[in-house]
Amino acid sequence: MKSLFDTETYQEIIDRIEKLNENSTPNWGEMSVGQMLTHCQKPLEVANGTLQLNTKIGFFKKLVMKFFKPLMYNDKSWQKNLGTVQEFKITEPKTFQEEKEKLIKIITAFSNKKDTNNWPEHPFFGTFNTEQWGKMQYKHLNHHLTQFGV
């Protein structure tokens, strides 16, 4: 599995984002390209420690989430139309160029943390190490860039 901490993979993601434009349409799902760019910022903000979700989950759900945790960063692609947490659902219109620039900035900040060992706890899945964070963030971005055909 590729990682956003790998220089070539980082550049691949940036190049794919640059191929998007305000008229890009999804192959599945309902988000506009601007909404997708905003949505992709959220998990990176959680990893960067700039967004904390106020989601509380019970013991049983935490136990179930531990079972699904490896799916977040393994080699298997995510299926289309997966659900997402409420805080990551973007329904209001977004400006393409502004959101694209923000996403690239956030990806760069994340990628520069490749030597970090002190990551915030994920609100659903608990702790991830650096390798897992890098793979998970790549997998999420790859999923949505594929959604938009780049």
Q: Which residues pair with 126 in a beta bridge?
A: 122
The number of CA neighbours under 13 Å toward the Cβ of 131 is 3
Residue 53's pLDDT is what?
A: 82
* Encoded tokens for 77: 């692609």
How far apart are the C-alpha atoms of 97 and 91, rounded to whole Å? 17
Class of domain 7-147: mainly alpha
CA distances from 85 to 57, 104, 121 (A): 12, 22, 16
Instruction: Please tell me what DSSP assigns to residue 89.
Output: -
Residue 52's pLDDT is what?
A: 86
How far apart are the C-alpha atoms of 108 and 37, rounded to whole Å? 14
Which of the four pLDDT bands, split at 50, 70 and 90, describes residue 78?
confident
pTM beyond 0.75, yes or no: yes
